């Protein structure tokens, strides 16, 4: 075992994993995180705590993880390289290890221009792939980027993101290969609506044997309304929402129900694709729906490992 985390045990034992996103509040209420943790703990193997998601300042991912751990929920610490340089990143990793946080998701982060501090200076001292390598070297070599040794263990299960829908499509598998080479143990993908395109990407992943070197968790975003579907189709870079999905959301009398149906259909199709080892549900501002989706997808109860 690299980290001994629940997520690692499930994935390494060949079981299908379920993770979900737990966004911390734009405020100081621990209750918000605790409520989401209580809601999701029985239907997920680990919960990702987002890190100033969409470049909007929120309670830190780190503190969200600590709050979840106190509830007995396993967190995935999301870390973006947009906001911290190598000193801060490595220092936070030492702290995460000290506090028993064992899953880390290494991200670039949405550009600060999109958030609520668009005039901020972006850090980008190292990039997400270099960051994956950093965590791996800390875990396996007990060394910092500068080669200096530190004391103690840093048992992390290392995650990374992949977006099969961004351009250039042909390079997306190569980029995944670089992340795997850097040390990514698991991958959480961008939200999938275009299953055909995802399947094509997965074929490329299998052709390079990457599905045997890393665990791919397929990303899902339950849609609540036609407005949300349209917004994602037109305004979010690197997200592919086919017209038929938007149409289905527009034509239905019960958008929430239709959204759940679309999500369940997508899960069913995804589970048939060789090399997909789990799902990651990003129900932004709709966490309440996650238990139902996991239940109806036939993924309950979650394994105890």
Partner 1 sequence: MITVEQKELEKILEMTKGRGRLLVLGCETCAAMSLAGGKKQAEELAVAIRVGRKQSKEEGEVVADAIARQCEPEFVALIEKEVASFDTVLSLACGAGVQLIAERFPDKVVIPGCNTSFLGVTEKLGVWSERCAGCGNCILDKTGGLCPIARCAKQLFNGPCGGSTNGKCEISKDVDCVWQLIIDRLTRLDRLEALEEIFPVKDWSPAGHGGPRRVVREDLEP
* Residue whose C-alpha is closest to residue 189's, from 210, 207, 162, 159: 162
Stretch that binds partner 1, among 96-104, 172-180, 248-256, 273-281 (CB under 8 A): 172-180
Q: Is 124 exposed, middle or buried (0-12, 13-18, 19+ CB in 10 A)?
A: middle
Stretch that binds partner 1, among 121-129, 258-266, 285-293, 294-302 (CB under 8 A): 121-129
174 vs 244, beta carbon nearer partner 1: 174
In whole angstroms, give the CA distance from residue 223 to residue 230. Answer: 10
Dihedral of the CA atoms 268, 108, 47, 198 (nearest 10)? Answer: 0
For position 116 contacting partner 1 by CB under 8 A, the verdict is no
In whole angstroms, give the CA distance from residue 148 to residue 135. Answer: 14
Element (DSSP H or E) covering residue 104 = strand 103-107
In whole angstroms, give the CA distance from residue 279 to residue 192. Answer: 10
Which residue from 34, 108, 225, 252 is in contact with partner 1, where contact means CB under 8 A? Answer: 108
For residues 226 to 265, the per-residue mask of contacts with partner 1, x marking binding by CB under 8 A and - elsewhere, is: -----------xx---------------------------
In whole angstroms, give the CA distance from residue 245 to residue 230. Answer: 9
Instruction: State in angstroms the smallest separation of the CB of 168 from partner 1.
Output: 6
Stretch that binds partner 1, among 93-101, 155-163, 195-203, 286-294 (CB under 8 A): 155-163
**Could you say which residues in the range 81-100 bind partner 1, by CB under 8 A?**
82, 86
Size of the site for partner 1 (CB under 8 A): 35
For position 147 contacting partner 1 by CB under 8 A, the verdict is no
Q: Residue 133: what are its φ and ψ, rounded to 5°?
A: -60, -40
In whole angstroms, give the CA distance from residue 63 to residue 58. Answer: 11
For position 124 contacting partner 1 by CB under 8 A, the verdict is yes
Stretch that binds partner 1, among 18-26, 126-134, 199-207, 267-275 (CB under 8 A): 126-134
Which residue from 168, 254, 272, 304 is in contact with partner 1, where contact means CB under 8 A? Answer: 168
Residues 6+ apart with CB under 8 A from 187: 159, 160, 161, 162, 176, 179, 214, 215, 216, 217
Which residue from 42, 70, 127, 234 is in contact with partner 1, where contact means CB under 8 A? Answer: 127
In whole angstroms, give the CA distance from residue 20 to residue 295. Answer: 14
Q: Write out the residues near partner 1 by the rule CB under 8 A.
A: 82, 86, 108-111, 113-114, 122, 124-130, 133-134, 145, 161-163, 166-168, 171, 174-175, 177-178, 181-182, 190, 237-238
């Amino acid at each position: 075992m690299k980290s001994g985390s629940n997520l690692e045990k499930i994935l390494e034992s060949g079981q299908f994993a379920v993770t979900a996103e737990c966004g911390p509040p734009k405020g100081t209420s621990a209750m918000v995180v605790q409520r989401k943790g209580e809601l999701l703990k029985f239907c997920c193997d680990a919960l990702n705590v987002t890190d100033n998601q969409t470049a909007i300042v929120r309670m830190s991912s780190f503190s969200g993880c600590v709050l979840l751990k106190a509830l007995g929920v396993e967190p995935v610490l999301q870390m973006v390289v947009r906001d911290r340089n190598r000193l801060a990143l490595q220092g936070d990793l030492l702290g995460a290890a000290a506090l028993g946080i064992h899953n880390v998701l290494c991200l670039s982060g949405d550009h600060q221009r999109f958030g609520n501090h668009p005039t901020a200076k972006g850090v980008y001292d190292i990039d997400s792939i270099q960051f994956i390598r950093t965590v791996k070297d800390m875990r396996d070599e007990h060394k910092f980027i500068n080669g200096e040794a530190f004391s103690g263990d840093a048992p992390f299960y290392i995650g990374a993101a992949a977006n099969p829908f961004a351009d250039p499509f042909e390079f997306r598998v190569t980029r995944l290969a670089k992340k795997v080479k850097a040390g990514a143990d698991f991958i959480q993908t961008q939200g999938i609506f275009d299953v055909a395109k995802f399947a094509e990407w997965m074929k490329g992943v299998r052709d390079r044997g990457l599905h045997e070197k890393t665990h791919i968790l397929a990303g899902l975003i339950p849609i609540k309304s036609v407005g949300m579907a349209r917004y994602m189709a037109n305004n979010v870079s690197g997200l592919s929402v086919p017209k038929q999905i938007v149409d289905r959301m527009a034509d239905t009398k019960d958008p929430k129900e239709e959204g759940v149906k679309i999500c369940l259909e997508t899960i069913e199709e995804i589970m048939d694709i060789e090399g997909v080892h789990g799902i990651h549900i990003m129900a932004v501002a709709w966490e309440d729906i996650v238990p139902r989706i996991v239940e109806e997808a036939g993924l309950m109860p979650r394994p105890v490992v």
